[in-house]
Structure 1
Amino acid sequence: MTDWQNALDNALQAAARHEFSVIPLSLTKLPALKSPHDKGHGCKGECGQLGHGIHDASSDPDRIRGMFEAARHATGYGIACGRPPHFLIGLDLDRDQGKDVDGVWELRRLCAREGIAVPRTVIIRTPRGGYHAWWTGPADVKVPNRAGQLAPGIDVRGAGGYLVGPGSRGVRGLYALASDPDDVTVRPIPEQLLQLMTADKGSPRRSASAPVRTWAMSGGRSLVGLVRCVLEAPQGQRNNRLFWAACKAFEHAAAGRLDADQAEDALMQAAAEVGLPDKEAEATLKSARGDVLGAAR
């Protein structure tokens, strides 16, 4: 069986069994149909022609066959996010040892920090060793497409985006179902995780005036004081305060008075409380930890 036939069969199956809306994809994972318009057009399919990317997506078998017939070079298919009846939401968890990125670990860390219990759902293994996690969302919430906002190595696929379907072939290989093949049920997204996905970019997730919580208290007076130092940081000094507090925390850890990971988690949450973006706070903590603990990290 050719890659084209395999992609078509899988796309038709996804539409018939799960009511997913699909489009053909090329080997580069981009929509396989060329746009009929000049660059900069605003048409989203109103012209009636094919070639409008995710706007072409359909669950109608005749339309799917028509799209694939027009794209005989297609080797995969994309599943539209944000469409009824599932309002699909995806997390792309990248794993790249060369860039020291592990989206799976970052998601576990994020969920542990936020107290989120992540349920079982459909998981797709990517050719590079990463994973796509699929959830259903509420009909009245629009989830934006974002790269790296939740954490390094984690991209959000929401309204206007698509997920590469299992059985698709890309340049690096096949996308395959990694979860239970006998339970292909896309489950509802946890409410807390949905809130993180839809939060305004750069906005604090918690009030900057929030009290020092039990996650800091459990680390003793020294950690409470360092967390408070970050929470009380004035605008323009938040990152400097975080670096100073982190260095002090890791010095305590090196002396055996604090747990380094517990201190890092507490300071990470304090940074979030005062509105520091996750990426910036993580870089600052990593730098402080490397300066103080070095290879002992």
Structure 2
Amino acid sequence: MATTDRQATTLALAHALSAAERGLAVIPLSRTKLPALRSPHRDETGPGLGPTRRCRGECGRFGHGVHDASTDPTRIRELFAAALRATGYGIACGLPPHHLIGVDLDMKTTDDSSAALRELALRHLFTIPATVVVLTPSGGRHLWLSGPPDVVVPNSASRLAPGIDIRGAGGYLVGPGSRTDHGTYTAAPGTAHLALAACPPALLRLLLPPPRAHHPTPPPAGGHEQGHGHGQGLVQFVLAAHEGQRNTRLFWAACRAYEEGIGPALAGPLMEAALNTGLSEREARATIASAARMTGHHP
């Protein structure tokens, strides 16, 4: 390996260890921004084997992409020792304690995507808080935000607006200091040491999967306010949740309820709906309480 490559790997490791000190789980990346360690299952054959095998590191070997991510300095050094050509590092999104969400403003349409984000903020009445911003070699920007622990933000490309990609659970962001084929990622001046700002509740709702069409059932005779109109629709939205989206749907519905002034009245029906989908009472209470706090209410 060339001396410059060794230096790049050493520097990437140093940056990765620094990120880990802030509670950010990291993996080594190559110059192509892809995980630097190849899958240990790439040559395996047979049903359920090969590169698409659904092993997420249970086998104990390295090479499972974002599932290798760690904040443990010893494990990080082992990862980089195995990734001799790593020149950068990736930061896993969605993991505790920060539950990182990345707002990626595309380099080809940075001005347009920045304007689109500002327009969304004006339309939905939120502001983008001061937080860590990473500049990409080609002129794009990554905004780092933290999310609540009981909500899964999915990855998406241009769903929020053209040129705005979201890095959520199962995704990763290229960390500042990483060297790629196109240049080096750097922290925007004055943002490197900022704490990760919480994702504004109104923006967080936009990042969650949109509600599916539903057909609200008629309210029972003598029903209360929560049995009518939009409140009943929110309850139906929670009831339609499948495994893997129950917390997310409950959080989304509870946020809407609190922001529309029916949160306290709808908390009970939302709780009952969540229990019917298989959530535990503890999980449901925590999610509704989180929605109340995120929207400025006391649960």
Under a length normalisation based on structure 2, what TM-score does the superposition of the two structures give? 0.64
The verdict on how the C-alpha distance between 1:84 and 1:30 changes in structure 2, with shifts beyond 3 A counting, is same
Indicate conservation of the 8 Å contact 2:133/2:192, yes or no: no
Equivalent residue in structure 2 for 1:14, among 11, 19, 22: 19
The one-character-per-residue Cα deviations of 1:252-282 (angstroms, maximum 9, x if unpaired) are xxxxxxxxxxxxxxxxxxxxxxxxxxxxxxx
Task: Name stretches of at least 5 consecutive residues in structure 2 with no aligned partner.
Answer: 1-5, 42-49, 215-299
Equivalent residue in structure 1 for 2:78, among 66, 70, 77: 66
Please show how residues 37-52 of structure 1 align to structure 2 within 5 Å: 37=41, 38-52=50-64
Please show how residues 207-226 of structure 1 align to structure 2 within 5 Å: none
* 1:181 to partner: Cα distance: 4.6
The verdict on how the C-alpha distance between 1:101 and 1:67 changes in structure 2, with shifts beyond 3 A counting, is same
Equivalent residue in structure 2 for 1:119, among 129, 147, 170: 129
Rg bigger for which structure? 1
Structure 1 partner of 2:118: 108
* 1:191 to partner: Cα distance: 0.2
Structure 1 partner of 2:102: 90
The verdict on how the C-alpha distance between 1:194 and 1:182 changes in structure 2, with shifts beyond 3 A counting, is closer
Please show how residues 157-172 of structure 1 align to structure 2 within 5 Å: 157-172=167-182
* 1:203 to partner: Cα distance: 6.9
Does 1:193 find its partner at 2:238?
A: no
* 1:102 to partner: Cα distance: 3.0
RMSD over aligned CA atoms reads 1.9
The verdict on how the C-alpha distance between 1:40 and 1:21 changes in structure 2, with shifts beyond 3 A counting, is same
Equivalent residue in structure 1 for 2:140, among 94, 119, 130: 130
- Could you say what secondary structure the match of 2:198 adopts? coil
Equivalent residue in structure 1 for 2:30, among 22, 26, 30: 26
Structure-1 separation of matches of 2:213 and 2:113: 22
Indicate conservation of the 8 Å contact 1:136/1:189, yes or no: yes
Identity within the alignment, %: 53
Structure-1 separation of matches of 2:62 and 2:147: 28
The one-character-per-residue Cα deviations of 1:136-157 (angstroms, maximum 9, x if unpaired) are 1000000000000000000000
Please show how residues 196-275 of structure 1 align to structure 2 within 5 Å: 196-200=206-210
- Could you say what secondary structure the match of 1:44 adopts? coil
The one-character-per-residue Cα deviations of 1:100-125 (angstroms, maximum 9, x if unpaired) are 97322221122122222111111000
Structure 1 partner of 2:289: none
The 10-residue stretch of structure 1 (180-189 or 65-74) with the greater mean CA deviation from structure 2: 180-189
Structure-2 separation of matches of 1:183 and 1:193: 23
Indicate conservation of the 8 Å contact 1:95/1:102, yes or no: no
Structure-2 separation of matches of 1:199 and 1:182: 31
Structure-2 separation of matches of 1:171 and 1:184: 28
The one-character-per-residue Cα deviations of 1:80-110 (angstroms, maximum 9, x if unpaired) are 111111111110001316xx97322221122
Structure 2 partner of 1:231: none
The verdict on how the C-alpha distance between 1:65 and 1:202 changes in structure 2, with shifts beyond 3 A counting, is same
Structure-1 separation of matches of 2:182 and 2:115: 22
Residue type at the aligned position of 1:191? P
Aligned length: 201
Structure-2 separation of matches of 1:142 and 1:199: 10
The one-character-per-residue Cα deviations of 1:231-261 (angstroms, maximum 9, x if unpaired) are xxxxxxxxxxxxxxxxxxxxxxxxxxxxxxx
Indicate conservation of the 8 Å contact 1:94/1:102, yes or no: no
Indicate conservation of the 8 Å contact 1:33/1:71, yes or no: yes
Structure-2 separation of matches of 1:138 and 1:23: 23
Under a length normalisation based on structure 1, what TM-score does the superposition of the two structures give? 0.65
Residue type at the aligned position of 1:164? V
The verdict on how the C-alpha distance between 1:137 and 1:61 changes in structure 2, with shifts beyond 3 A counting, is same
